[in-house]
Structure formats: C-alpha cells, structure tokens
Amino acid sequence: MAIASTTLPVLAEVEPGFNTQVTLQASRNNGMDTWLNGGYGRFSHGDDSQSDTAFNGRIDLGYKARFWQNFEISTHLQARQGSGDDERDALGLVTMKLRYVQATAEQQRLMVTLGQFFLPTSMENTDPFWESPYTITYSSMNSWIGEEFRPIGIDLDYRWTLADKQQFKLAATAFQGNDSMGAMLAWRGWSYGNHLSVYGETLALPDLYSLQEPNAFAIQNDSGSTPVTGDFDGDIGFALRGSWRLNSDTQVKLTHVDNNGDKGLHNDPGDGEYAWRTRFTLVGFESAPAPNVTFLGEYMSGSSIMGATPTHVDIDFESLYLLTSLRQNDWRYSLRYDTFSITDRDLLKQDPNWDDGESLTFAVFWQQARSKLSLGAEVLALDSERKRVIVDGTLLQNPRDQLQFSLQARYRL
C-alpha cells in the first residue's frame, strides 16, 4: 500500500535536450480592451472592438545541455499569436543562461548563473517555462514580474543542508537592463495574465493625458515601454535573497531588489524611455500540512520613482496573494485570494497613479499520471478601482467588478 507524502512541490527540473510545450487558451471577460492593445483593461486578453472572447496560442521551446561535468546552458524561446491585431503577437527570447554548479563541501553547493533569467522567487510559477501548476492566470504580483522584471547579469547562490535536512540558501545578483521597470505599474496599474515579455518586446502604454504633447511626459516613447532589453543608464542593479527550508513540508523565502535606475530620460525625446528607480522586498512561504494539500503565498512592498521634482512620478506599491491547492488523483483544485494597491506620492494632478483592488480565483486542472496533456478551467472575480487622466483630459476612475472565464489546454512534446 502506498503511503501519501506531505512533501512540497519543487521547482520542476527539465531534462537535457529539446523541450516543447504547446498551449491553447480561450478567455472571456467583461473588462475593457486589453492593456496589451494600449487599452485600460486589466486582463491580458479581451478586445472591445471585436468581442469579449479572446483566443491565443503559444509555443514554448526550451533547450538544455550539460557539458564539462559542472556546466549547463539553457534557453527558453516563445512564439505566440492572439486573436485580432494586437501587441501580444511575438517571437523571442524569454531566458538564456549559463550555469555552473560545484559542491564546495559535504552538503554544501555553489551555483553561478550568467545570462537573462527569472529570479527563483515565485511560489506559484514552479512548472517548466515559468508556468503555474495551480492557475491559468498568475497573481497580480507574478503577472507584473513576468511582464517587467528579467535580470540580465550574474547570480551567485550558496546552499547548505544540515543533518536534520534543514536547508539554507543565500544568494546575490548583479544585473543591468530592467531600467524601465515600474513604468507599467505607474501608468497602467496592476494586471492579471500570463504574459512573459521577450527580449526587446515593447509593451503598449495607455493613452494618458500626461503622455501627450505638450504635457509632462510627452517625450516618452510613443510606442510604449521596453522592459527586457539592454541597459539605459549604465548603472548596476542588485538583488539579495535568502531561503530556509525547515523540512520537506515548509519553506520561506525573502528577497530584496533594487534596479538602481537613475530616473532620467534616455535616447531622443519622443523615442526615449525613462529609467525608473524601482525597489521592492518580497517574502514568500509554502507549506504542505497534509497529503496532497498545499498552502502558499507571497507579499511584495516597494516603490518606484522617475524624473525630478516637480515633474516626476513617485509611487508606493503592494501586492499580496494567498493560495491553497488540493490534489486528488488526476485533478488539482486551487483557490487564490489576491489584493493589490498603488499609492500616488507625487500628487501631480495631470498624472494620478492610484490603484486598489482584490480578486478571487478558482481553477481546476486535469492531468493523468505520465500524460503529456493538461486541461484547465478557471474563473477570476475582480473588484478594483484606479484613477488615471486619459487622453482627453478627463478623469478615468474606473471602479468596476469584473469576471473572467478561461479554458486552457497544454501539451508537452
């Protein structure tokens, strides 16, 4: 008779060689036009000009190779196509990294990563290709990380394991790029989706009054913001991380990030981008108190500043989610509560940046043992309010309740 285990799910390991995943998704919501089209909708799917039902497909291609015993190289490319003529169609690089792993002593290990990569902070995005095994739509926090934060640099990670199986990690990252991180939060607000920006991809900004001639930030690039790209200001950002795995059932993580942006405009006016000084601290936990039951959550608090007084943007932001998941045979059921806010500290009348909301998400996934096919369904209920001055100079307060229904099929080749 098999005995059920309460061990935590771990970050999925990908075998060497090529790995491919095909994802098809259909979503229907009563929100506004998706922010990916430059609209005011919070979801990454939906188009007022066509219908409230959106379809999209994406192909994730990964390659991993090990050589010289201690080295491995891995890449993640993504191609995606959405229904309608929008900004989410893309083909590009999500991650590419070279990794060196060396045992330094008994039960101790040093890992060095060089390239473009995600920091291993997320408690929910633990499947290959930075997918979530729990929900179709990521939390507001990890939706934003997928859109705007992808370090390009070097990461040092040191791990040691004690005799009682407790495990500790300390890590430090130095990176460039990510200078415009904060632009989407300040000018668009929080969002929900599973959009992973590729290298060089430009994300559309909404038609705000402050971005139009001759107003405060008209010299910002008209096409939008490019978060995952080369460095603007030459300054080096950093991140510090620590984690403690108490046993096979419980772990906690703590991360601090500072992109060290110089807050100035770079490149030509009208085609330039601002470097934002964005800092945040993130704490996460995960626990498996009973067989097939998982509790996890993360809290983020930070700030982002751009420009100089009196014409500048200064915001504080917060995001929190709590998730519980039950696995029964071929089925997984997950429930997530999420809350977020942005506080406008500069109080520039033509560019308010207030945001506040909460959501509840319920998702069901079906996947047979050793099957390559996964099917999912999800409903997300959102209650939110934000303040922005739109292109005609009127205040968009946008309080509304929204619902999104999503279906997804994933097949791993």
CA-based Rg of the chain, rounded to a whole angstrom?
A: 21
Tens-digit pLDDT profile for residues 286-302: 999 998 999 999 999 99
Closest of 10, 82, 7, 408 to residue 247, by C-alpha: 7
Q: Is residue 109 part of a domain?
A: yes
Considering the entire predicted model, what is its pTM? 0.94
Q: Is residue 114 part of a domain?
A: yes
Q: Is residue 175 part of a domain?
A: yes
6-29: average pLDDT: 81
Q: How far apart are the C-alpha atoms of 357 and 44, rounded to whole Å?
A: 17
Using DSSP, state whether 329 is helix, strand or coil: coil
Quote the pLDDT of residue 262.
94
Quote the pLDDT of residue 9.
57
Confidence label for 407 from pLDDT (cuts 50, 70 and 90): very high
CATH code (residue 108): 2.40.160
Residue pointed to by tokens 């979801």: 43
Q: Which domain holds residue 406?
A: 68-74+93-412
Q: Is residue 215 part of a domain?
A: yes
Q: How far apart are the C-alpha atoms of 391 and 360, rounded to whole Å?
A: 31
More confident residue, 301 or 37: 301
Q: How far apart are the C-alpha atoms of 44 and 194, rounded to whole Å?
A: 7
Lowest mean pLDDT of 115-119, 182-186, 211-215, 338-342, name the range: 211-215
Lowest mean pLDDT of 35-39, 200-204, 333-337, name the range: 35-39
Quote the pLDDT of residue 90.
82
309-326: average pLDDT: 95
Q: How far apart are the two ends of the chain, measured CA to CA in Å?
A: 32
Say how many domains are in the chain. Answer: 1
Q: Is residue 230 part of a domain?
A: yes
14-30: average pLDDT: 92
Quote the pLDDT of residue 86.
53
Q: How far apart are the C-alpha atoms of 38 and 49, rounded to whole Å?
A: 13
Average pLDDT, the chain: 91
Tens-digit pLDDT profile for residues 355-394: 999 999 999 999 999 999 999 999 999 999 998 888 777 8
Q: Is residue 44 part of a domain?
A: no
Tens-digit pLDDT profile for residues 87-107: 567 899 999 999 999 999 889
Confidence label for 274 from pLDDT (cuts 50, 70 and 90): very high
Tens-digit pLDDT profile for residues 223-243: 899 999 999 999 999 999 999
Q: How far apart are the C-alpha atoms of 231 and 213, rounded to whole Å?
A: 27
Tens-digit pLDDT profile for residues 163-201: 888 999 999 999 999 999 999 999 999 999 999 999 999
Confidence label for 271 from pLDDT (cuts 50, 70 and 90): confident
Quote the pLDDT of residue 2.
37
Tens-digit pLDDT profile for residues 137-158: 999 999 999 999 999 999 999 9
Q: Which residues contact 368 (CB under 8 A, 6 or more apart)?
A: 330
Tell whether the model's pLDDT for residue 49 goes beyond 60: no
Quote the pLDDT of residue 3.
36
Q: Is residue 263 part of a domain?
A: yes
Q: Is residue 54 part of a domain?
A: no
For residue 133, say if its preceding peptide bond is cis, omega within 30 degrees of 0.
no
Confidence label for 266 from pLDDT (cuts 50, 70 and 90): confident
